[in-house]
């Protein structure tokens, strides 16, 4: 009896996928793999649809393929679908192929912040740097208000859209690029501050990872605020890439030691069994302070940086609060994307 029921349920689920979700792989007029700066391939393509619309195709076809995996991979689409906003990449469509590969069609943007900063050799004007930070925090304020943690804020996940020469928005923004947040691939729903267990689905690239994630304690929206602080540092110096030599071998402990230098200590039971399992001990390098550690960050950005890079997540400012920084007074008054 029990077994029959299970079979029926399985059949039913398969039919749901077959009849309602699977549309079959679509044909594109052209489809070429997108090579990003680091020449890493991500299963990302530039494609032209039959209706001549250009799209970025994000394909997920790795791992065991079945409807469960497809549903899991579609969480990125479901989250993006909910996050319609002028500073967030626009999801055009999504579908699942017969072999359970999932496809996201996203509007293509001009460049990404890492390429832009690199081209300009870390010499952005203060107006540009302030505008990028303001727009990113404004996007995060919206994401967080929808109970979502982006989870992977970094230069290469911030797309930039070049505005038309006569677009009045350019003057309001103080630059010709509009920020578009991309890559909700590891985003989480944060309906309540849940205890975070290290289940191998770590948030953020290592150099953008806050202490609470390194220590596997809690994941809240404050995770993105910390990463926004590291983005700020990276607008003025090649911080993540100066650590690249070590990134392959960089451990939780290395990163904790570094954070302890610029952000100070974090309450944590370093004697616990969890600490042993995570292979971490109390950091020993002395606390200096964030302003002298990142001396390449100009004075007018230092106050904001200090508010973003606070070790304790419950003392870290919110995205909304950060928007009130004096640095943004002019931008704030222009009522951009209220
Ligand atoms: N809409 C877009 N417009 C322009 N470029 C894009 C767009 N979406 C993605 N890209 C490019 O493709 C890269 C990878 O995309 P995305 O971050 O979504 O994939 P990912 O596999 O999750 O990447 P990673 O694991 O490196 O974070 C981006 O860093 C960017 O260079
Ligand atoms: Mg990415």
Structural domains present in the chain: 8-106 (3.30.200.20), 111-333 (1.10.510.10)
CA of 183 to the centre of ligand 1 (A): 6
**Pocket perturbation via mutation, ligand 1, pick of 32, 33, 36, 102 by most ligand atoms within 8 A of CB:** 36
CA of 148 to the centre of ligand 2 (A): 17
Of the ligands numbered here, which is closest to the C-alpha atom of 76? 1
Q: How far is CA 134 from CA 127, 179, 207, 287, in A?
A: 10, 9, 22, 29
Residue 138 contacts residue 173 (beta carbons within 8 Å): no
pLDDT reported for residue 12: 43
Of the ligands numbered here, which is closest to the C-alpha atom of 45? 1
pLDDT reported for residue 189: 85
Q: How far is CA 128 from CA 11, 52, 117, in A?
A: 55, 34, 11
> Which residue minimizes the CA distance to atom 24 of ligand 1?
42
- Among residues 236, 239, 272, which one has the least CA distance to residue 122? 236
- Among residues 55, 60, 161, which one has the least CA distance to residue 112? 161
CA-183 nearest atom, ligand 1: 18
pLDDT reported for residue 24: 61
CA of 116 to the centre of ligand 1 (A): 14
Q: Which two tokens stand for residue 241?
A: 């890439």
- Among residues 11, 237, 26, which one has the least CA distance to residue 123? 237
Residue 209 contacts residue 203 (beta carbons within 8 Å): yes
CA of 183 to the centre of ligand 2 (A): 5
Residue 267 contacts residue 226 (beta carbons within 8 Å): no
CA of 167 to the centre of ligand 2 (A): 28
Ligand 1 interacting residues, C-beta cut-off 6 A? 34, 36, 42, 44, 56, 58, 89, 106-109, 112, 152, 156-157, 159, 182-183, 185
pLDDT reported for residue 13: 47
| Its pTM surpasses 0.85 | yes
**Pocket perturbation via mutation, ligand 1, pick of 113, 117, 157 by most ligand atoms within 8 A of CB:** 157
pLDDT reported for residue 175: 95
Report the relative pairing of strands 111-112 and 102-106 from DSSP bridges: unpaired
The DSSP line for 219-287 is --THHHHHHHHHHHHHHHS-HHHHTHHHHTT--HHHHHHHHHHHH------TTSHHHHHHT-----SPP
CA of 90 to the centre of ligand 1 (A): 13
Report the chain's C-alpha Rg in angstroms: 21
The span from the CA of 202 to the CA of 278, in Å, is 13
CA of 125 to the centre of ligand 2 (A): 25
- Among residues 114, 147, 110, which one has the least CA distance to residue 37? 114
Phi, psi of 189 (to 5 degrees): -85, 130
Quick count: other Cβ atoms within 10 Å of Cβ 247?
A: 14
> Which residue minimizes the CA distance to atom 17 of ligand 1?
183
pLDDT reported for residue 299: 96
Q: With H, G, I as helix, E, B as strand and everything else as coil, classify residue 206.
A: helix
What sign does the dihedral 183-186-189-193 (CA atoms) show?
Answer: negative
pLDDT, one tens digit for every residue, the chain (338 residues): 344 444 444 444 444 444 344 456 788 999 999 876 555 556 899 999 999 999 999 999 888 888 888 888 999 999 999 999 999 999 999 998 888 899 999 999 999 999 999 999 999 999 999 999 999 999 999 999 999 999 999 999 999 999 999 999 999 999 999 999 999 998 988 865 555 555 445 788 888 999 998 888 888 999 999 999 999 999 999 887 766 545 556 788 998 999 999 999 888 999 999 899 889 999 999 999 999 999 999 999 999 999 999 999 999 999 999 999 999 999 988 888 87
Residue with tokens 């899991």: 72
Alpha-carbon dihedral 276, 279, 280, 285, rounded to 10 degrees: 140
Residue with tokens 């996928």: 17
In terms of DSSP H, where are the helices of the chain?
2-16, 67-73, 75-82, 113-119, 126-145, 169-173, 211-214, 222-236, 239-242, 244-247, 252-263, 273-278, 290-293, 299-308, 319-322, 329-333
């Amino acid at each position: 009896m029990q077994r029959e029921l299970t079979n029926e349920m399985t059949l039913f689920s398969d039919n749901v996928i077959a009849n309602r979700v699977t549309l079959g792989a679509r044909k594109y007029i052209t489809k070429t793999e997108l090579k990003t700066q680091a020449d890493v391939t991500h299963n990302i393509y530039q494609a032209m649809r039959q209706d001549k619309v250009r799209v970025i195709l994000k394909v997920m076809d790795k791992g065991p393929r079945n409807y469960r995996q497809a549903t899991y991979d579609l969480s990125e689409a479901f989250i993006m679908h909910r996050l319609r906003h002028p500073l967030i990449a626009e999801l055009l469509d999504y579908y699942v192929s017969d072999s359970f590969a999932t496809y996201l069609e996203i509007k293509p943007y001009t460049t990404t912040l890492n390429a832009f900063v690199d081209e300009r050799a870390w010499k952005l004007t203060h107006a540009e740097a302030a505008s990028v930070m303001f727009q990113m925090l404004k996007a995060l304020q919206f994401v967080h208000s929808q109970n979502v943690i982006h989870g992977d804020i970094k230069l290469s996940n911030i797309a930039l859209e070049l505005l038309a020469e006569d677009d009045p928005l350019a003057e309001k923004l103080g630059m010709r690029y509009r920020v578009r947040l991309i890559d909700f691939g590891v985003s989480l729903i944060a309906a309540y501050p849940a205890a975070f267990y290290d289940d191998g689905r770590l948030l953020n690239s290592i150099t953008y990872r806050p202490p609470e994630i390194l220590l596997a304690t809690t994941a809240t929206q404050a995770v993105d605020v910390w990463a926004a602080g590291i983005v700020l540092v990276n607008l003025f110096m090649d911080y993540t890439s100066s650590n690249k030599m070590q990134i392959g071998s960089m451990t939780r402990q290395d990163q904790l030691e570094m954070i302890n230098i610029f952000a100070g200590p974090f309450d944590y039971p370093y004697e616990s069994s969890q600490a042993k399992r995570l292979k971490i001990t109390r950091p020993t390098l002395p606390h200096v302070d964030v302003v002298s550690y990142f001396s390449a960050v100009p004075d007018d950005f230092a106050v904001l940086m200090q508010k973003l890079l606070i070790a304790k997540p419950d003392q870290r400012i919110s995205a909304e609060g950060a928007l009130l920084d004096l640095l943004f007074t002019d931008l704030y008054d222009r009522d951009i994307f209220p």
